[in-house]
Amino acid sequence: MGERKTFPVPAVARTISGRRKEAARDWMAPDAGPREVQLRFVTELSFDEYRKQRGWEAATSSRCPLCEAGSCHFHRLGTYMRKVPAVAWVARYYCPESHTTFGLLPDFYASRMPGTLDMIEEAATKAESAPSVEMVADALRPADAPDAVTLGAAPRSSGSGCGCSSRARSSRRSRG
């Protein structure tokens, strides 16, 4: 209730621990290629200011968070795109020794999910006060939004013919 700073998702998602294997499993797929880690880019800029000032160009990291200083070839590796709430870029670094890519994620972004922390906070606040999930969804993403998935559209995928059960049936048939 009103404890805005303790909202758990961004806090947990932003925890970076290269040494803890338990944490590492969250962002490492087995046998995947390079690992990806989000680092915090401390900034006072708002999302709009960051876009206008091309904040990703000013976002720098002096050393690899995983290796001893100077012991690896940590270097800048361009940027990657975030699409929500509007297209912007995030500075990226790479450590070839640890096969790890680092994104310098500005403070206003949510880590590991689209959008900004403000958007998530708004959603959480609405969810707390709304009588139903449907009403929250309507408030956050009205059905007339261009990318909205409405209840009217949903039954096509969740209706009578569920792909899971028909696959299960056919596999039973093929075994018997």
Task: Report the interface residues with Zn ion, using CB under 5 A.
Answer: 64, 66-67, 72, 74, 95, 98
Q: How far is the CB of 32 from Zn ion (least distance, A)?
A: 18
Q: How far is the CB of 78 from Zn ion (least distance, A)?
A: 17
1: burial class by Cβ within 10 Å (0-12, 13-18, 19+)?
A: exposed
Q: How far is the CB of 47 from Zn ion (least distance, A)?
A: 30
Residues in the chain: 176
105: burial class by Cβ within 10 Å (0-12, 13-18, 19+)?
A: buried
For Zn ion, the closer of residues 64 and 88 by Cβ is: 64
- Pair of tokens at residue 135: 């009403």
For Zn ion, the closer of residues 49 and 97 by Cβ is: 97
Residue 134 half-sphere exposure, CB side, CA atoms within 13 Å?
4
For Zn ion, the closer of residues 64 and 90 by Cβ is: 64
Strand ranges (E), 12-152: 35-41, 75-82, 88-95, 100-106
Q: How far is the CB of 62 from Zn ion (least distance, A)?
A: 12
For Zn ion, the closer of residues 63 and 126 by Cβ is: 63
- Please calculate the CA angle 26-27-31 and round it to the nearest 5 degrees: 105
For Zn ion, the closer of residues 67 and 123 by Cβ is: 67
Q: How far is the CB of 98 from Zn ion (least distance, A)?
A: 5
Strands 35-41 and 100-106: parallel
